[in-house]
């Protein structure tokens, strides 16, 4: 059995870590292809090094570009890779341009495609991620859904026969790293002289928050007005857009900081008063760590976090201020994102006779 995993962006490296481990444990030949969508060391190499993932077998070095240019460059390069390896499965992850390119290339070469994190929907047709996930789900042969809600979305689109509920592989890696981090004080807290529970961790990188200067300025001003320090772990996209439009990412309570390695992020979030983000993964990580989350978006794919009260959608400065100071949500033992053993189920599903 040979599986080719195609990854390219930061959240995909996190999901790859437990899959790589489970593939090795099952004696499966696992080829890792990195498209090069993310190339900064702090968005890429640090995840491979820290999460014990083997170096990519193939690196396409595609880099940045408009959606069409970036996706097209990957598509063009992947044909030769799949032709050389002829895997039993191509495994694609999440909802980035790397996901779509790999799914389209593989399906056209008649190589079975499995989509990890299938069935998520924001129903916001302006998001590039929504295009990518809808098209990938409809192209793929096997849909590995993280949640019951995702299973229902796939069923509503006529895809039930190809769907399996496996749980969320981000739970696998998060629980492992949380246990490793333990009570070790957060490096970020020490570096910035912050107090336990005396700051918020923020990430903002989505196109809908960064690409319109007025929107980005309003989000930055909203975060700057919060009464405790807000450490913005600034993705290159937000740094570039802020610089282009003269928007300060360090102002008032807001302090810009480079992105963190995974374990450092988890320990920074664990000691924080809350997380403010537009990232998909971080909303869920906050919930799994039982850290209150405020999401700067008009909708979320991870609806369970909102229904359980651990996540609130907030867009204006007033909404953000109200959400971050809300009382701590009611404790819950709900586990909508699985039991931390999703990756083994993924490999079992790929090994099952077709
Ligand atoms: C991508 C995903 C998004 C995911 C995010 C995680 C798509 C459509 N979007 O968004 O779903 O949540 O990754 O971070 O695939 N850049 C660098 N260095 C890098 C990578 C990017 O400087 O290593 C800059 C470039 O200027 C680039 C911009 O960031 O133009 C955006 O990068 P891109 O890969 O297009 O998408 P992300 O915003 O990272």
pLDDT in tens, 259-307: 999 999 999 999 999 999 999 999 999 999 999 999 999 999 999 999 9
Tokens at residue 184, please?
């070790």
Probe residue for ligand 1, chosen from 236, 262, 282 as the CB with the greatest number of ligand atoms within 8 Å: 236
pLDDT greater than 90 at residue 354:
no
The pLDDT-based confidence of 111 (bands split at 50, 70, 90) is very high
The Cα–Cα gap between 256 and 248 comes to: 9
For atom 12 of ligand 1, the residue with the nearest CA is: 279
Q: What is the pLDDT of residues 229-267, one digit of tens each?
A: 999 999 999 999 999 999 999 999 999 999 999 999 999
State if residue 136 touches ligand 1 by the CB under 6 angstroms criterion: no
Tokens at residue 10, please?
């930061």
Full DSSP string of 299-341: --S-HHHHHTTSEEE--SHHHHHHHHTSPPPPP----TT-SS-
pLDDT greater than 90 at residue 141:
yes
Q: What is the pLDDT of residue 183?
A: 83
Residue 94 CA: which ligand 1 atom is closest?
11
Q: What is the pLDDT of residue 337?
A: 98
* 136 bridge partner residues: none
Contact 97, 74 (CB under 8 A): yes
Phi, psi of 260 (to 5 degrees): -110, 155
Average pLDDT over residues 312-335: 96
Q: Collapse the DSSP code of 190 into the 3-class scheme (helix H, G, I; strand E, B; otherwise coil) and give the result.
A: helix
Q: What positions carry a catalytic annotation?
A: 205
Domains of the chain, CATH where assigned: 2-168+338-351 (3.40.50.2000), 177-324 (3.40.50.2000)
Residues 93-114 as b or e (16 or more Cβ within 10 Å = b): bbbbbbbbbbbbbbbeeebbbb
**Cα(325) to centroid(ligand 1), Å:** 30
pLDDT greater than 90 at residue 182:
no
State if residue 205 touches ligand 1 by the CB under 6 angstroms criterion: yes
This prediction has a pTM of 0.96
The Cα–Cα gap between 69 and 72 comes to: 5
Residue 65 CA: which ligand 1 atom is closest?
30
pLDDT greater than 90 at residue 186:
yes
Phi, psi of 268 (to 5 degrees): -65, -40
Give the rounded percent of residues in the chain with a pLDDT score beyond 70. Answer: 100
pLDDT, the chain, mean? 97
pLDDT greater than 90 at residue 160:
yes
């Amino acid at each position: 059995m040979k599986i080719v995993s195609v990854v390219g962006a930061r959240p995909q490296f996190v999901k790859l870590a437990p899959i790589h481990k489970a593939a090795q444990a099952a004696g499966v030949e696992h080829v890792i292809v990195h498209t090069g969508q993310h190339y900064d060391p702090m968005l890429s190499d640090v995840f491979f090094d820290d999460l014990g993932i083997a170096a990519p077998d193939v690196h396409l070095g595609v880099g940045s570009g408009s959606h069409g240019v970036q996706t097209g460059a990957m598509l063009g390069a992947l044909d030769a890779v799949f032709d050389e390896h002829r895997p039993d499965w191509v495994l694609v992850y999440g909802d980035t341009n790397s996901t779509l390119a790999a799914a389209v290339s593989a399906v056209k070469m008649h190589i079975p495609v499995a989509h990890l994190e299938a069935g998520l929907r924001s129903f916001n047709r302006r998001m590039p991620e929504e295009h990518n996930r809808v098209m990938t789900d409809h192209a793929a042969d096997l849909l590995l859904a993280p949640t019951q809600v995702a299973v229902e979305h796939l069923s509503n689109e006529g895809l039930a026969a190809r769907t399996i509920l496996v749980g969320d592989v981000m739970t696998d890696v998060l629980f492992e790293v949380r246990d490793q981090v333990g009570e070790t004080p957060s490096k970020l807290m020490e570096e910035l002289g912050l107090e336990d529970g005396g700051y918020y961790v923020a990430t903002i990188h989505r196109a809908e928050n960064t690409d319109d200067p007025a929107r980005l300025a309003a989000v930055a001003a909203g975060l700057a007005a919060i009464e405790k320090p807000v450490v913005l772990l600034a993705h290159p996209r937000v740094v570039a857009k802020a610089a282009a439009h003269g928007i300060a990412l360090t102002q008032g309570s807001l302090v810009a900081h480079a992105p963190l390695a995974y374990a450092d992020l988890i320990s920074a979030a664990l000691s924080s008063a809350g997380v403010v983000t537009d990232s998909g993964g971080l909303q869920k990580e906050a919930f799994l760590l039982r850290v209150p989350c405020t999401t700067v978006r008009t909708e979320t794919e991870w609806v369970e976090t909102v229904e359980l009260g651990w996540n609130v959608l907030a867009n204006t400065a007033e909404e953000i201020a109200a959400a971050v100071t809300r009382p701590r949500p009611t404790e819950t033992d709900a586990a909508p994102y699985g039991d931390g053993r999703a990756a083994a189920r993924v490999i079992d599903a790929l090994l099952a006779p077709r």
